[in-house]
Chains A and B, each alone.
Chain A
Amino acid sequence: MLRLESVSYRYAGAERASLRDIDLRLEYGEVLGVVGASEAGKTTLCLVASGLAPRAIRGTLTGRLLIDGIDVAGQRMHELTALVGVCFQDPATQLSGVNATVFEEVAFGPMNLGLPVEEVVERTTDSLAALRIGHLSERDPARLSGGQMQLVAIGGLLAMRPAHLVLDEPTAQLDPAGTSLVADALARLASGGSSILIAEQKTDLLARICDRVVALDHGGLRLSGQSRAVLADPSLQALGVEEPSIVRLRRLASEAGEDPARLEEEAP
């Protein structure tokens, strides 16, 4: 289990904390969505949960990041890679930029860990298969579409075999086709029992894959609960979060005097 305990984070030079007093937990096999407007603290939450803040980004962290009950404050970043993996918005910057093929790009992390060749190959092959991108193995990562690039980035992450995945708006910079490609892959990972914390503006994706959702506002936790309940909460829009299509349809049906339950019955 990954747990944030009374966590606040202030970037170096910033006047105010970007995260304030956050208590959060991500159980094994659970998919936890994080919503909020821009500047609400989603990216900072991902950086803290992945251990990158304050290791790679200067700032002050108070509170604790616990993984399986152990405070990881003293561990270095490369020691955390087996516990938690992180993926950011821009697919191009996730890739190392030095590998000629997708296979080597996905293998890059395990190679950095100095694992035996057999294990590097096994992990890489498994990751490519899990995301169904084995057919891209020979391709140059720099010449892929945005959606394919993001899948390769996530593949690289999976090859590290982290216990928890942290994804910061993985579809934010993708077109609808790329978003659908990544969303399908995430849905498969989620149903396969992966433990995922995902910050995302696209609530339709969250409605599809999340068990629980939390909403952030100005660095603080405002809503927390089961996915369906939080994403249907009327106060969500006031926090700058768009309601999922199904919630909007239900609301419009209600407003038109129709029974919203019929939407579920008539859904394909």
Chain B
Amino acid sequence: MARSGQPISEAAPLSGRLPTFLGNPGPSAFHRLNPLTKLVLATVTAVAAVVLGGIVGPAVLLLIAVAIPAAGAGVLGRLLRTSLLLSLPIAISALLVNLFFFPGGRDVLFQIGPITATREGLVFALEILARILAISGGITLFYLTTSPQALVTDLERRGVSPRLAFVASASVQTVPAMVERASTIVAAQRARGLDTEGGVVRRLRGLVPIVAPVIMGSIAEVEERSMALEARGFTRPGRRTLLWAPADTPVQRLARWLLIFCLAGLIVARSAGVLGPLP
């Protein structure tokens, strides 16, 4: 397996003994893009979808910047599942509220009792839906093709404080540990007769003896973890050694700046009225 990370030549010459499995970014060319490139792409997609508005703009973005790269990376199925799950609650509420209660809606589509669904409301709801899908799709694609460690390593190489980078990475990676802890505590409390099933009130009441141990346990763990970090020299001032960092190329640097300039141009064009609203 080829390593796609690159040596940190400014820190030290790379050892020939460095294991080849370090910094393996994933199977596809999109996976191998620098995390910052993917982050810029996701951010520009999300902001451009909002700035463009309408349905066509976000839909084109969704196709070009999300669906095609996701298909190339082999994560289209997972992307659809994840981003739909993420956006479904907001999408449903936006659809219902705007379809039936859009102010100034005149063109009636159908009626349910006293409530009237209007065409204007439906169009507005679809516009919101298109934006939400473009935003959640861009973010999900980034998440599915970038490891937190790769992002953090890349940021650290670019001069971000190791402590800040550690906090960002540890926060993301602590979530599964907390979920596991919570499920252990739920099992333990249920074994002692706690009722966590039934009506909403009963379930909410059942949460109390679970939340406290999860939070207290996590706080106690933080103390021991911070001691272990101290003992491993984490508080030493100065730069850490990095063994690898995600590859970056002049083409990617250029592409990032181009994306940012395009977005800035789009914002200016929309603000100045040069670019009118798209359908």
Q: Which A residues fall within an 8 A CB radius of B?
A: 47, 50, 52, 55-57, 76-78, 81, 85-86, 88, 90, 92-101, 103-104, 107-118, 120-122, 125, 137-138, 142, 153, 156-157, 160
The closest CB in chain B to the CB of A109 belongs to B232
Chain B 154-166 per-residue mask, 1 if CB under 8 angstroms from chain A, else 0: 0000000010001
How far is A90 from B223 in the complex, measured between Cα atoms in Å? 12
Give chain B residues whose Cβ lies under 8 Å from the Cβ of A94.
228
Max chain B CB contacts within 10 Å: which of A92, A97, A121? A97
Which of B149, B226, B233, B239 lies in contact with A78, CB distance below 8 A?
A: B233
A112:B230 contact, CB within 8 angstroms? no
B232 near A160 with CB under 8 A, answer: yes
Beta-carbon contact of B8 and A117 below 8 Å:
yes
Known contacts A78-B235, A115-B241, A118-B13; 20 further A-B pairs (Cβ under 8 A): A52-B227, A52-B230, A56-B226, A56-B227, A78-B230, A78-B234, A78-B236, A93-B225, A96-B228, A97-B177, A108-B232, A112-B162, A112-B233, A112-B236, A117-B7, A117-B12, A118-B17, A121-B243, A142-B176, A142-B177
Q: Which residue of B is nearest A115, CB measured?
A: B241
Chain A residues within an 8 Å CB radius of B235: 76-78
C-alpha spacing A120/B232, complex, angstroms = 13
CA distance A137 to B148 in the complex (A): 19
Q: Nearest chain A CB to B5's CB is how many angstroms away?
A: 11
A116 CA / B242 CA spacing, docked (Å): 9
Task: Tell me the number of A-to-B contacts counted with CB atoms below 8 Å.
Answer: 129
Interface pair A112/B173, CB less than 8 Å apart: no
Q: Please give me the 10 A-B residue pairs with the lowest Cβ-Cβ distance, nearest first.
A: A78-B236, A112-B233, A109-B232, A93-B224, A117-B12, A98-B169, A116-B12, A78-B233, A111-B241, A121-B15
Asked whether B19 lies within 8 Å of A114 as measured between CB atoms, the reply is: no
C-alpha spacing A222/B243, complex, angstroms: 48
